[in-house]
Amino acid sequence: MDATQLRELQAPVKQRYRDDPASACATMHAEAAFADPGITATVQTWAGPTRAGLHPSTGGDGADACSGDMLLQALLGCAGVTMRSVATAMGVEIRAARLTARGEMDARGTLGVSKETPVGLGSIAVDAELDTDADDATLTRLGQLTERYCVVAQTLAHPPTITVRRA
């Protein structure tokens, strides 16, 4: 797909959202359950159920998916699609790309060992290695726009609220 095709694809969608802003609101949905024994939660994913469990640094044995890794995977999926879309709109040819994400976690926080230690992944870094002829200024702009328009990255900047209630 080139920039013209992308604009043609998105033009009617953008116009609909300009004409009717409420139509741009999409509810995304995910489900999980405590279906299996142990400290796990089975998450229904696009590719089928995935059982998440404790990371080895918090007592897990590594047999289950780690939700921190899943978060980084979701970030890379979103950043990759966003980057490709932005690059297409900018007319930047990317022959191939490899994206990686890293985040450090100090398990003392989530285990309650240290109240001073934050819970969660500290500074997350996403690196994109691109096979492209684009110059450094263009790549800088591509990175800025990807960060700006990446839904998962922006969501991480503004964390969600968790509500617990009886069924």
What value does the mean pLDDT take over residues 85-100?
97
Residue 166 is assigned to a structural domain of this protein: no
Residue 25 is assigned to a structural domain of this protein: yes
Look up the CATH number of the domain holding residue 72: 3.30.300.20
Q: How far apart are CA 88 and CA 122, in angstroms?
A: 31
pTM of the model: 0.90
What value does the mean pLDDT take over residues 140-164?
94
Report in angstroms the alpha-carbon separations of 141 from 62, 80, 90: 39, 15, 10
pLDDT recorded at residue 17: 96
What value does the mean pLDDT take over residues 147-163?
93
Residue 164 is assigned to a structural domain of this protein: no
Inform me whether the pLDDT recorded for 35 exceeds 90.
Answer: no
Report in angstroms the alpha-carbon separations of 111 from 35, 90, 104: 23, 45, 15
What value does the mean pLDDT take over residues 151-158?
94
Residue 102 is assigned to a structural domain of this protein: yes
Inform me whether the pLDDT recorded for 4 exceeds 90.
Answer: yes
Residue 88 is assigned to a structural domain of this protein: yes
Residue 167 is assigned to a structural domain of this protein: no
| Region for residue 44 given its phi and psi (left: phi exceeds 0; alpha: psi -120 to 50; beta: otherwise) | beta
Residue 84 is assigned to a structural domain of this protein: yes
Q: How far apart are CA 100 and CA 138, in angstroms?
A: 20
The residue range of the domain holding 94 is 3-157
Q: How many domains does the chain have?
A: 1
Would you place residue 159 in the very low, low, confident or very high pLDDT band (cuts 50, 70, 90)?
A: confident
